[in-house]
Amino acid sequence: MHLNGPPSQAIRARRSVRNYSPEAIPPDLLRQLNEACADTTRSPFGETASFQIIEKPFKRGEPVKLGNYGLQRNPRYFFVGSITRSPTALMGYGYLLEHLVLRATELGLGTCWMGYFNPEFFPEVTGDGLTPAIAIVGKMEKPRIGEKIMRSAIKADKRKDRSTFFFDGDFDRPLSRSDAGEYENPLEMLRLGPSSGNTQCWRIVRGHGNVFHFHMRIVKKKYHAAGMHHVDIGIAMAHFELAAREASLDGEWRVEDPRLALPDVTEYRVSWFPV
């Protein structure tokens, strides 16, 4: 699936929206979202996936609930997908669904990832694939006060300093902006990505020849247990790759552990190899 505009623009514009208009998404936009879903079928790891938009306006007193409705106002449309099971499926799912989130963003719609949702709310999803998370999509309204308080509590507008995330050669040496060179923007776009509870579990080490080794720090056991940190890494892959390709930096993803000395609770996941 391709974005129409520059990915960096959509990445900078995106933020989680929790207050939606109850209005319908205009048919032309809905058609474009459905086309994007139809085009989002294969992860870089080779898993196959299918995504759809499910319309389910919120009704008070429904017997089957979506999840933490308290935070979400007037959710009506949902990106819901299913991916074939494999050791990398959660990352593959994060990668693919983030492409759809960014497509919706460039169409001027609001989105919010939801890791905590009730699968019974979506009986439309059948088969034995995985649905680790969903995303709300819709016309946005201005944030309410409760949402502002919640965003400030989880520091949603903040990202840790780049020295927390990016390293050169090994985990002892931070990667400076100037040393990152043409990969500085892809790394910055990764840093702006959404993550479960804003935990920002990405830890990236650049190796020889601009190979980037993506590691995952288990920042919160609760999110890790639900598979959310793996999804977060997939989202980071999407941002990094989209911004790299925007700068005509081509590459491919391979799981080839460089076996670096690792800090506590940090695991290798995947690497970007320039081609």
Ligand X SMILES: Cc1cc2nc3c(=O)[nH]c(=O)nc-3n(C[C@H](O)[C@H](O)[C@H](O)COP(=O)(O)O)c2cc1C
Residues lying near ligand X in the complex (CB under 6 A) are found at 15-16, 18, 68, 71, 112-116, 133, 154, 156, 194-198, 228, 231-232, 235
Closer CB to ligand X, 54 or 260, in the complex: 54
Residues in the chain: 275
Closer CB to ligand X, 43 or 198, in the complex: 198
Minimum distance from residue 23 beta carbon to ligand X (Å) = 21
Helix (H/G/I), strand (E/B), else coil: 86? coil
Minimum distance from residue 136 beta carbon to ligand X (Å) = 9
Residue nearest ligand X (C-beta atom) = 194
Minimum distance from residue 114 beta carbon to ligand X (Å) = 4
Closer CB to ligand X, 165 or 249, in the complex: 165
Q: Alpha-carbon distance 30 to 19, whole Å?
A: 19
Closer CB to ligand X, 159 or 245, in the complex: 159
The residue type at 90: L
Q: Which of 264, 249, 86, 167 is nearest to 272 (CA)?
A: 249
Minimum distance from residue 261 beta carbon to ligand X (Å) = 28
What is the 8-class DSSP label of residue 26? P
Minimum distance from residue 112 beta carbon to ligand X (Å) = 6
Closer CB to ligand X, 91 or 114, in the complex: 114
CB within 8 A of 124, min separation 6: which ones? Answer: 52, 54, 80
Closer CB to ligand X, 18 or 215, in the complex: 18
The dihedral region occupied by 42, where left means phi > 0, alpha psi between -120 and 50, and beta the remainder, is beta
Closer CB to ligand X, 19 or 196, in the complex: 196
Q: Exposed, middle or buried, 105 (CB in 10 Å: 0-12/13-18/19+)?
A: buried
Minimum distance from residue 117 beta carbon to ligand X (Å) = 7
Minimum distance from residue 40 beta carbon to ligand X (Å) = 16
Closer CB to ligand X, 158 or 254, in the complex: 158
Residue 150 has, within 13 A of its CA and on its CB side, a CA count of: 14
Tracing tokens 């905590």 back to the chain, one arrives at 116
Q: Pseudo-torsion of CA 214, 192, 13, 102, nearest 10°?
A: 20
Strands (E), 69-132: 77-83, 110-114
Alpha helices in the chain (DSSP H): 7-13, 27-38, 89-106, 145-153, 162-165, 177-180, 184-191, 221-225, 228-246
